[in-house]
Structure 1
Amino acid sequence: MPRNRRISAAAIAAAAISLLATSCVGATEDGASDDPNAKTTLTFWHGWSAPSEVEAIAANVKAFEKAHPNIKVKVVKGLTDDKINQALRAGGSNAPDVVSSFTTDNVGRFCSSNAFADLKPFLDKAKIDPAKTFLPQMAKYTEHNGKRCAVPLLGDAYGLYYNKDAFKEAGITEPPKTLSEFDKVVKKLTKTKGDGFERLGFMPSYLGYETTVEHYGSQFGVQYLDGAGKSNTAKDPAVKNMLKWQKNLVDDLGGAAKLNKFRTSLGDEWGPKHPFHTGQVAMQLDGEWRGKMAADAGLDFEVGAAPFPVPDDQVEDYGKGYLSGTILGIANTSAKKNAAWELVKYLSTDTEAVVSFANAIHNVPSTQEAIKSPKLNSDPVYRTFVDIAQHPKSSHAPSSVNGGAFLLTLQDYALKYEKGAEKDIDALLKKNDQQVDKDNEQAG
């Protein structure tokens, strides 16, 4: 499953300010003095809750305990970031030693607030070079301003799923590579019914599943922040191009209101009635997990996967996509950092552990060795996303002290533009920059 959930920009900004204002108070120094060979018990908090996911991480923890008989691990499952943040602020005997978070965008907060310990001393001692051990972009999104307080634990890559039967019926022989080709395919696959749709070629609305500014932005090469950390959307032509492309496609399909009416009739994103599963949407922007969910749903059509198209003037970069993933760190309040590091190192760098976990929960491996392993799932749909993860131009949004609030703020403005509530795109992006800079300043 994907590792990010959408909440309002105001809520995420408030959470960021709260975390940064309080987590530093309870933080200890990064230095570790415990004996990793002594008998001890670690507390490991994670967010996985589906039975297969919980079973998979439990198997890796059991293998770790076998390799480290002096360390026992108390695993607490299904933790949200809100609960994790509260525990990191409070510390105490019930707080976690090792934490995994699905919210990749929180790295900037965890690092700048010292909620997570600096991992550089541990990595250096173990002679682990993150740039050589992990996939480049995953190594990049687990540090902030040169400080590495997290490591990746599997990743997500985003691409285009398509209904091969619908393609064949429409005479489309291959997935589109450029956005102009994509727009034509979307319209060709769309079937209207009354004042709505029988089938939509693609749901481009920002209210749709996974159709967010950051997922589109990776294809355009958007530079959200400048070198000084200031919001850059009014100055980056890629942002305007992205908003105009999306708005034009929305309008060509009948407008925001018509699309939203159809959207509200669609099934749940995580259930068997997902609109791609039911054939109500012929193409879907999604991550590698969707392939397994589609297979489990027993669809009556063949599923194809490809990289999401790129702007026509960037066709040489076709194959790239948006990346994110689970992050793993050590709570700075932990008195067992050396032992905790042994668990972090095993889960994130042991090739057997990474491959088995990736296969079990259908995520992309985060290490160079694991992604080359002959034991890795060979399903061609899944492998499309493995290739996207390795593309040199695949990317994640930059880290920020305010987490992903700047992305949600831009999405709020983009939705206003999509609906026609804001018509002056230059003025809109200037307002976005002002709001993002104000929020970041408040967050520290």
Structure 2
Amino acid sequence: MQRWRIRTCVSAALATAGLLLSGCANPGVGSAEDDATAPVTLKFWHGWSAPGEVKAINDSIARFEKLHPNIHVTSTGNVTDATINQALRAGGDGAPDVITSFTTNNVGQYCDSGMWADLDPFLRKTGVDKTKVFPKSLLQYTSFDGKQCALPLLADAFGMYYNKDAFEKAGISRPPRTMSEFVRDAKKLTVRSGKDSYKRVGFMPNFRLYQNSPDRLFGQWGPTYFDSKGNSVLAKQQSTYDFFRVTGQLADAQGGYGALERFRTSFGDEMSAQNAFLTGKLAMHLDGEWRGLMLNEAKAGFDWGVAPLPVPDDQADTYGRGYLTGTVTGIAHSSTHQNAAWELVRFLTTDTRQVVSFANAIHNVPSTYAALKSPDLDADPTFKAFIDIAQNKYSQSMPQSTNGGMYITSLQDFAYSAEAGRAHDLRKGLRTLDEQIDADTLQSKS
């Protein structure tokens, strides 16, 4: 399974499996007293599985071992968050020393449980100023409640892919920049093949499509999820209502939720040659930077481009922003080789040449200021569009929570009902959603 396919569902999977860690974990006691210059073998667990990705990881390890000949790294790939958490709970010789996760939503859980070691002491003693190395938004999704238990290991930025041929045929000169333009262009780009079917839709707003988790498009409004006391405030901000209004307008402009949902169910698998954007069924599509590489490999039969997603009309000056997430890495609290493990984490996350090489190899966004500006970074203009989104000061990542992002799952469930017209009183529904999120947070702390 490709990494980007599991990012939105892991929190729910962990909850179902009884693996939520906050408030009840007893992590094995590790040690930061080891000599990082002594011979040692580190166990590194990660989730990459595709041949090209695994090769990129192995090449990274080879570069590290050349710089640190005393440290040998054994790498285990295709490991899920649930498997890592089980191993960390058990501790012992079988547990990993260095771990990665594709699920930034779970970082609050990792930090709060103590399963992932606090990296701030290691940063300080090796003279790494994290605020000068990593963009602020990436530091936000790798820390929780003052604890930096993870660091960014490449990032993902979300933007809009668009079919240039379809735009030209519809007489549209450029991608939409505001939500009103978005609705207008989506309607122009929609082509029906009959009364109840489509040849192509301008933009599929339905939240069950591929990467269309509601929090990603909602990020264009720059929402606030929690107040200073940690209480959910979705019902108290106008942007939430504007978001659902615009997604409703997008659906209505193209025939309504029901017709679009029937069309969506005809789409092929996201990562297959039957992807709806690749097959021309979508003229505009929300997706991450990896899609460009896949479109090139598949030799898409049309000219395509990338642009930032539109922003609200009253926030036109924020155009260029996008939703950010990414891979994170850290040190297992149970590791007895934490100083040596830190050398590996520091190399993977802060060495500019390494970060650029890895980013180019797997076509993800670099996660340090220096790497983002490196002349060695892939100069492909469509990839650069995501680099610009990642560096935009208005781009936003999700705030961390102690229960592994359960609030995002709750928002998803509510959004499914809202788009289908089952939330008849939106304000009342959002107040109930806030109450549910607060109750879940309180329960996780008990």
8 A Cα contact 1:117 1:329, kept in partner = yes
| 1:398 aligned onto 2:399 | yes
Which whole-Å CA distance do the structure 1 matches of 2:133 and 2:91 have between them?
A: 31
**1:290-369 counterparts in 2 under 5 A?**
290-369=291-370
Q: Superposed, which structure 2 residues align to 1:238-253 within 5 Å?
A: 238-253=239-254
1:217 is matched with 218
Q: 1:150 to 1:3 in 2, by over 3 A?
A: farther
Letter in 2 for 1:253: Q
Contact 2:34 2:336 in 1 (8 A): yes
**Aligned-pair distance for 1:251?**
2.5
Structure 1 unaligned blocks of 5 or more = none
Unaligned runs of 5+ in 2: none
**2:410 alignment partner in structure 1:** 409
Contact 2:20 2:403 in 1 (8 A): no
Match of 1:276 in 2: 277
**Distance of 1:283 and 1:342 partners within structure 2:** 43
1:60 paired with 2:60, answer: yes
Q: Structure 1 residue 2: deviation in Å?
A: 2.7
Name the counterpart of 2:20.
18
Amino acid at match of 2:21: L
Deviation at 1:213, TM superposition (A): 1.7
Task: Report what 1:192 is aligned to.
Answer: 192
Question: Using a 3 Å threshold, how does the CA distance of structure 1 residues 17 and 435 change in structure 2: closer, same or farther?
Answer: farther
Q: CA deviation at 1:165?
A: 0.6
How much has 1:50 moved relative to structure 2? 0.4
Partners of 2:172 and 2:361 in 1: CA distance: 34
- The CA deviation at 1:15 is 5.4
Following superposition, the deviation at residue 14 of structure 1 comes to: 4.6
Q: How does 1:96-135 map to 2 (within 5 A)?
A: 96-135=96-135
Which residue number corresponds to residue 227 of structure 2?
A: 226
Cα offset, 1:3, TM superposition = 6.8
- Give the whole-Å Cα distance in 2 for the aligned partners of 1:348 and 1:10: 28
In structure 2, how many angstroms separate the alpha carbons of the residues matched to 1:322 and 1:19?
Answer: 26
Distance 2:334 2:307 in 1: 44
Which residue type is aligned with residue 408 of structure 1? T
8 Å contact kept, 1:3–1:104? no
Over the aligned positions, Cα root-mean-square deviation in angstroms equals 1.4
Partner of 1:72: 72
Q: Give the counterpart letter for 1:435 in structure 2.
A: Q
Bigger shift: residues 43-52 or 127-136: 127-136
How far apart, in 2, do the equivalents of 1:226 and 1:33 lie? 40
Identity of aligned residues (%): 49
Tell me which amino acid in the other structure corresponds to 1:152. P
Q: Which residue of 2 aligns with 1:427?
A: 428
- The separation in 1 between residues aligned to 2:188 and 2:423, in whole angstroms, is 29
- Worse-matched range after superposition: 47-56 or 206-215: 206-215
Of the structure 1 ranges 132-141 and 362-371, higher mean CA displacement relative to structure 2 is found in 132-141
> What is residue 147 of structure 2 aligned with on the other side?
147
How far apart, in 1, do the equivalents of 2:88 and 2:96 lie?
A: 8
For the 8 Å contact 2:10–2:103, the answer to whether it is kept is no
Q: Render the CA deviation track for 1:267-319: whole Å, top value 9, x for unaligned.
A: 11011211110101111100100110111110111110000000000000000
Give per-residue Cα distances to partners, 1:126-155, cap 9 Å, x unaligned: 111111101221122111111100000000
Letter of the 1:344 partner, please give it. V
Q: 2-side partners of 1:110 and 1:92: how far apart?
A: 18
**1:214-243 deviation per Cα after TM superposition (whole angstroms, max 9, x unaligned):** 101210111111111111111111111111
What is the CA distance between 1:13 and its match in structure 2? 4.2
The 1-side partners of 2:312 and 2:60 are apart by 41
Moved more, 384-393 or 85-94: 85-94
How high is the TM-score relative to the length of structure 1? 0.97
DSSP 3-state at the match of 1:19: coil
Change (3 A) 1:422 1:108: same
Distance 1:27 1:237 in 2: 45
State the secondary structure of the residue aligned to 2:235: coil
1:314-336 Cα offsets, whole Å, 9 max, x none, are 00000000000000000001010
CA displacement 1:63-106 (0-9 Å, x = unmatched): 10111010000100000111011111111111100001000111
Match of 1:370 in 2: 371
Deviation at 1:28, TM superposition (A): 2.0
Distance of 1:391 and 1:322 partners within structure 2: 10
Match of 2:203 in 1: 202
Instruction: Provide the rounded CA distance (Å) in 1 between the counterparts of 2:424 and 2:10.
Output: 22
2:20, 2:234 → 1: CA distance? 26
The verdict on how the C-alpha distance between 1:9 and 1:132 changes in structure 2, with shifts beyond 3 A counting, is: closer
- Tell me the equivalent position of 2:94: 94
Could you say what secondary structure the match of 1:64 adopts? helix
User: Per-residue deviation at 1:254?
Assistant: 2.1
Higher deviation after alignment, 242-251 or 396-405: 242-251
Number of equivalent positions: 442
Amino acid at match of 1:206: F
Query: For residue 8 of structure 2, what is the aligned residue in structure 1?
Result: 6
The alignment partner of 1:395 has SS state of coil
Q: Cα distance, 1:21 vs. partner?
A: 4.9
- Do the aligned partners of 1:16 and 1:402 also contact (CA within 8 Å) in 2? no
Q: Any idea what SS the aligned residue of 1:230 has? A: coil
2-structure distance, mates of 1:346, 1:16: 34
**Alpha-carbon contact 1:157-1:388 (below 8 Å) kept:** yes
1:7–1:321 distance in 2 versus 1, CA, 3 Å: same
Q: Given that residues 9 and 409 in structure 1 are in contact (C-alpha distance below 8 angstroms), is that contact kept between their aligned partners in structure 2?
A: no
SS state at 1:155 partner:
strand
Distance across 1 between alignment mates of 2:72 and 2:223 = 45
| Cα distance between partner residues in 2 of 1:200 and 1:305 | 18
The amino acid across from 2:379 in the alignment is S
Residues 366-375 or 13-22, more deviating:
13-22
Is contact 2:11–2:106 with CA below 8 Å preserved after alignment? no
Aligned ranges 1:167-182 → 2 under 5 Å: 167-182=167-182
